[in-house]
Structure 1
Amino acid sequence: MASEHSTIQLIQKESKIRTPRVHMLELDANCPVKAPFMLMDCLPGNVGMDLDMKIPPERKSAVFEQMAEIHIEMFHLRLPKIGIVVGVNKDGSYRQGPIPGLGGPFDTAADYFRAWAKKTKFGLSKNQLQEAAGSHADEILESTSSFLTLIHKAADRLSLNNNGPFPLCHGDFGHNNMVFDDSYRSLGVIDWEAAFAAPYEISGEFPLSLSVVPPAIDVPWDYDEGGRPKRPEDIERFADRDTYIAIVKQKEEELGLSGECLLSKILEDSDRQYLASALRLYKRGKPAWYSRLMEGFLKHEYA
């Protein structure tokens, strides 16, 4: 809660991203209400998923534009290390702390990925995986273990920008945490409790509204011989991702942004996009052939 409050302070001071105003923060469990709490404004709208689980086709263009503007702003909020925001110093700089479950703050992206490989557990137990994956369970279990080994060994090669400063990552960004009015005009972004300064590839991952299962780790029968998706919903999702990249590029041009570390360039790097998605899905416990993704990634890196 303290980190979320500090992150909101950073966002409100350093960007135009709208967030609820915090009126009071109480971290003492022995306070009069007997629980820590944060008192903040209620944005007078609905999160996108309450309006519709999927973005309506006629609203996609407007929502993607608003999403891109927020994503670009977050991506250009930079901090010296990889870690959560834990406070504000008297000089206005921000103190960083360890990421829950991983540690840190980390000086490099490689340090972050090594810690991730060492400390992250697959989101399903062996019995749960057996139930979910059936006859493929043993193969997938071996793949999940190999994935961690490959991440650790290749940690120095996983990010295009190993050193800081590092961009802010919301941790759960998509229309699920954007508040809209009934006309799908964005009123703000909520739920910053998982936010941290992250490697570029993690901060630059597509919003969850546009997330896909990386083809390399997915069931092969959902793709044709050229690796293209067969299912109509997947075909639509990949087309939406292309649209989002085009919108981000346009917004970056309008803002006069240039250089190698642009959000659009991260979005276009499919190998690293799929890597970021695989890390998220692994932690969640999605049964998949994770080691295949890293094997393909390394083949491209060393080609």
Structure 2
Amino acid sequence: MLQNEVATMQFIKEHCSLPVPEIFAYESDEDNPVRTAYILMELLPGSVAMDAAGGYDTHRGVIPKEHRQNFYRSVAKCHVQMTSLRMPKIGTIVRNSEGGYECGPIPGIGGPFDTATAFFEAWADSVKFKWDKETITRMMQGAPIPAEQMVASIENFPSQIKAMASRLSSCNEGPFPLDHDDFLHSNIMVDEDTFDVTGIIDWEGAYTVPHELIGFPEFLSCMPASFDLPQNYDQDGQPVEEFVRERWRERGEYIEMVKSAELQDSLLSACLSSKRNQAIAYCYGAYTSVGKLGLYDQVILEIEREE
């Protein structure tokens, strides 16, 4: 993993102006004088956005409203650069024997993969949900839907994805864009006065992905309506909670900022604008990383309706 992170940052440094630390030295093997793996890298200016403007105690981890527009605009420019970095296959960034770059296997999934179909099939075969049936049942006590329905929705999701793997992606073959798997404001450094991005860190889990897995930065994450309980939306399909309505508005504004920053093509804005793509991206992260309970079966139905 450390070698992948180093290779990814070096790849970025060589191919665009995305602000990542320069690597001075590293050791991936513990058999060295300091007896541990390490990376010696550049100290970037600024603070992580999570800690800026008074930190968590002041704004509870939320970007202050007076800084959001500039922060979002600066992040959008970085996001465009990130997804403009593409490789022929889906996988982690690794160094080859000639000193260049190629794709390597993704931990827990395998690869590298020549097609999005092969990736989704491998993911479906390898993924394990965080919670077992008994734990899910306990978590669902007092919930508005039966625990059995939730368990079935979760257990069936990988096989449903595998069954439609060949139809999931609009771009089955490469090149595939680079994605930061934890694109959150705790990994984005900013100037504390302006909230302009000064650096992006923690590239350990980055890899190239199918277009359908390109999502919003985590601070703009929002579950698809089909994944959520119906009572959380009004008759027009709008969120009942003001917080969610604001998040929807901010996502729309972010897409416009991305469009303004795009030069090479409109891949990122197209991915973010696609309701179908964002449903797939959200469910992939929710299932793989956090074990989030939700109506995965309803998302599958939504995807099928839009085919």
Does residue 282 in structure 1 map to residue 282 in structure 2?
A: no
| Conserved? CA contact 2:87–2:102, under 8 Å | no
Tell me, in whole angstroms, the C-alpha distance in 1 between the residues paired with 2:97 and 2:272: 33
**Cα offset, 1:88, TM superposition:** 4.5
Q: Quote the residue 1:76 is aligned against.
A: 84
| Conserved? CA contact 1:169–1:196, under 8 Å | yes
Output aligned runs, 1:194-213, within 5 Å: 194-202=205-213, 204-213=214-223
Q: Quote the residue 2:100 is aligned against.
A: 93
Tell me, in whole angstroms, the C-alpha distance in 2 between the residues paired with 1:215 and 1:37: 43
Secondary structure at the aligned position of 1:18 is classed as coil
Give the counterpart letter for 1:80 in structure 2: P
Tell me, in whole angstroms, the C-alpha distance in 2 between the residues paired with 1:290 and 1:225: 22
Secondary structure at the aligned position of 2:51 is classed as helix
**Cα offset, 1:197, TM superposition:** 0.9
- 1:171-190 superposed Cα distances (whole Å, 9 cap, x missing partner): 11132211012121211000
Tell me, in whole angstroms, the C-alpha distance in 2 between the residues paired with 1:49 and 1:25: 27
Identity %: 37
Tell me the C-alpha RMSD between the 2 structures. Answer: 1.4
Give the total of aligned pairs: 294
Give the counterpart letter for 1:60 in structure 2: R
Tell me, in whole angstroms, the C-alpha distance in 2 between the residues paired with 1:24 and 1:138: 52
Query: Would the alpha carbon gap of residues 93 and 33 (structure 1) be closer, same or farther in structure 2, given more than 3 Å must change?
Result: closer
Give the counterpart letter for 1:186 in structure 2: V
- 1:185-212 superposed Cα distances (whole Å, 9 cap, x missing partner): 211000000100111121x211111100
Long gaps (5+) in structure 1: none
| Conserved? CA contact 2:116–2:169, under 8 Å | yes
Give the counterpart letter for 1:86 in structure 2: V
Long gaps (5+) in structure 2: 53-58
**Residues 20-29 or 190-199, more deviating:** 20-29
Q: Quote the residue 2:121 is aligned against.
A: 114
Q: Quote the residue 2:62 is aligned against.
A: 54
- 1:104-125 superposed Cα distances (whole Å, 9 cap, x missing partner): 0000001111111111111222
Tell me, in whole angstroms, the C-alpha distance in 2 between the residues paired with 1:244 and 1:107: 31
Secondary structure at the aligned position of 2:198 is classed as strand
Give the counterpart letter for 2:204 in structure 1: E
Q: Quote the residue 2:16 is aligned against.
A: 15
**Cα offset, 1:219, TM superposition:** 2.1
Give the counterpart letter for 1:192 in structure 2: W
| Conserved? CA contact 1:176–1:209, under 8 Å | no
**Cα offset, 1:61, TM superposition:** 1.2
Secondary structure at the aligned position of 1:162 is classed as coil
Give the counterpart letter for 1:266 in structure 2: C
Give the counterpart letter for 2:283 in structure 1: A
Tell me, in whole angstroms, the C-alpha distance in 2 between the residues paired with 1:124 and 1:48: 31
**Cα offset, 1:276, TM superposition:** 0.5
| Conserved? CA contact 1:83–1:197, under 8 Å | yes
Tell me, in whole angstroms, the C-alpha distance in 1 between the residues paired with 2:34 and 2:261: 46
**Cα offset, 1:89, TM superposition:** 4.6
Tell me, in whole angstroms, the C-alpha distance in 2 between the residues paired with 1:270 and 1:133: 28
Does residue 265 in structure 1 map to residue 266 in structure 2?
A: no
Q: Quote the residue 1:169 is aligned against.
A: 179
Tell me, in whole angstroms, the C-alpha distance in 1 between the residues paired with 2:94 and 2:267: 26
- 1:208-230 superposed Cα distances (whole Å, 9 cap, x missing partner): 11100111111222111232111
Output aligned runs, 1:222-261, within 5 Å: 222-252=232-262, 255=263, 257-258=264-265
Secondary structure at the aligned position of 2:130 is classed as coil
Tell me, in whole angstroms, the C-alpha distance in 2 between the residues paired with 1:227 and 1:249: 26
